[in-house]
């Protein structure tokens, strides 16, 4: 009888250890999700004439702020190597995560804001990438 109780106690401890281990392992993705990788949006293009972007900024600005945007760089481009046909303005923006960037970009509000810059900004490219 004593042997059986030792075995049961040992088995219960192993089972408890397994449950705790699985629970901790299941928590790892959650902890990674709590500290997601940042995402970056790079925009290249040119302003058409003296276009007024106030309506676009009024609509897009609060949406971008709510998504956690931080403008890291904006200005004229100096090509150091290679060829870039239209090096006008380049903007680099940081978002908290790729899901935050995607939520912002694909939101109904931002899709409406895009229409407000039509004909005022010629887009060369807009790309998004996940940081490290």
Domain of 93: which CATH number? 3.30.70.100
What is the domain count for the chain?
2
More confident residue, 79 or 1: 79
Pair (107, 66) in one structural domain: yes
Whole-angstrom distance, CA of residue 68 vs CA of residue 97 = 9
Alpha carbon of 7 to those of 14, 25, 77, 111, 132: distances in Å?
10, 26, 72, 64, 48
Model confidence pTM above 0.85 = no
Predicted pLDDT at 87: 65
Average pLDDT, the chain: 80
Tokens representing 110 are 């931002």
Pair (12, 70) in one structural domain: no
Pair (82, 103) in one structural domain: yes
Pair (79, 126) in one structural domain: yes
Which range in 18-22, 29-33, 59-63, 80-84 is most confidently predicted, on average pLDDT? Answer: 59-63
Predicted pLDDT at 34: 67
pLDDT tens column, 52-97? 999 999 999 999 999 999 999 999 888 899 988 776 889 999 999 9
Whole-angstrom distance, CA of residue 32 vs CA of residue 122 = 38
Tell me how crowded residue 120 is: count the other CB atoms within 10 A of its CB: 15
Is the per-residue pLDDT at 33 higher than 60? no
Pair (26, 81) in one structural domain: no
Q: What is the domain extent for residue 23?
A: 1-35
């Amino acid at each position: 009888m004593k042997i059986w109780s030792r075995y049961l106690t040992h088995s219960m401890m192993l089972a408890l250890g397994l449950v705790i281990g699985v629970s901790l392992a299941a928590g790892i993705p959650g902890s990674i999700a709590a500290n997601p990788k940042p995402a970056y949006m790079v925009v290249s293009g040119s302003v058409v004439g003296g276009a007024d972007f106030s309506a676009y900024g009024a609509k897009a600005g609060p949406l971008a702020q709510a998504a956690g945007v931080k403008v890291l760089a904006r200005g004229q481009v100096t090509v150091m190597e290679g060829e870039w046909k239209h090096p006008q303005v380049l903007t680099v923006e940081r978002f908290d995560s790729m899901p935050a960037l995607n939520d912002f970009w694909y939101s109904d509000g931002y899709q409406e804001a895009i229409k407000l810059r039509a004909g005022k900004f010629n887009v060369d490219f807009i790309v998004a990438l996940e940081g490290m």
